[in-house]
Amino acid sequence: MVSDVPSDSAADAPPSASRWTARESEFLAVTLRLLQEHGYDRLTLEAVATEAKASKATMYRRWPSKAELVIAAFIEGTRVSAIAPRTGSLRADLLEIGAQVCEQADEHAATMRAVLTEMSRIPELSAAMQDEFVHQRKSLMTQVLTEAVNRGDIDAAVISDEIWDLLPGYLVFRCVMPGRPPGPETVRLLVDEVLMPSLTRDMPSD
């Protein structure tokens, strides 16, 4: 997927590289699959080791706790989509990012609920999530907005550091709330009726 994304600048940030070996990535993929099948509570490191035909010691050496394994799996499983869509249109870029968030959040809703609870208990996990997930998403959003500024579509002053994650944050909220998963219409309304009017609003000229 990564190699299919066109890149039009030599100064681009490198496509987010995995920090895991192929074998480790395989453990993480197995973890994600078992999470989706059985949920966080019923997942054990033993089950992942068995399924991945590895020793428990190997697993424990890399991920001393279930929470660490699950956060690593979640970050790795959502890594490839942390690349700016580059459609050439701000609206289309935002729609694409929204669709990606919905797809991931739908796939990983139960994992995300568990991850939220675990993160609040274990500060190191919260730090890992910040460094490897949140910063990556923020840089993606900044890139999309900067390109729109460079095209002259929006004013640089409309970009907010404080509420940069309104789009993904609200969609994640909708995914973790039972019964109201967001759909394409949610994303369209959010982009057309909220984000675009906000980003293209008149700014004071002084």
Alpha carbon distance 191, 144 (integer Å): 14
Alpha carbon distance 152, 149 (integer Å): 5
Counting contacts by CB under 8 A, is residue 119 touching a second copy?
Answer: yes
In the structure encoding, which two tokens stand for residue 164, read together? Answer: 């940069």
Place of tokens 């496509």: 15
SS (H, E, C) 81-100: CCCCCCCCCHHHHHHHHHHH
**Cβ proximity to a second copy, 156 vs 189, nearer residue:** 189
- Within positions 128 to 157, which residues make up the interface with a second copy, using CB under 8 A? 129-130
Residue 69's SS3 state is helix
- Within positions 50 to 109, which residues make up the interface with a second copy, using CB under 8 A? 109
Q: Which of 56, 64, 156, 169 touches a second copy by CB under 8 A?
A: 169
Stretch that binds a second copy, among 2-10, 71-79, 100-108, 120-128 (CB under 8 A): 120-128
24 and 76 in contact (C-beta within 8 Å)?
A: no
Axis-axis angle for helices 66-77, 22-38 (nearest 10): 100
Stretch that binds a second copy, among 46-54, 72-80, 87-95, 166-174 (CB under 8 A): 166-174
Counting contacts by CB under 8 A, is residue 37 touching a second copy?
Answer: no
Say how many residues touch a second copy, by CB under 8 A: 36
Residues in contact with a second copy by the rule CB under 8 A: 109-110, 113-114, 116-117, 119-120, 123, 126, 129-130, 158, 160, 162-163, 166, 169-170, 172-174, 176-179, 185-186, 189-190, 193-195, 197-198, 201
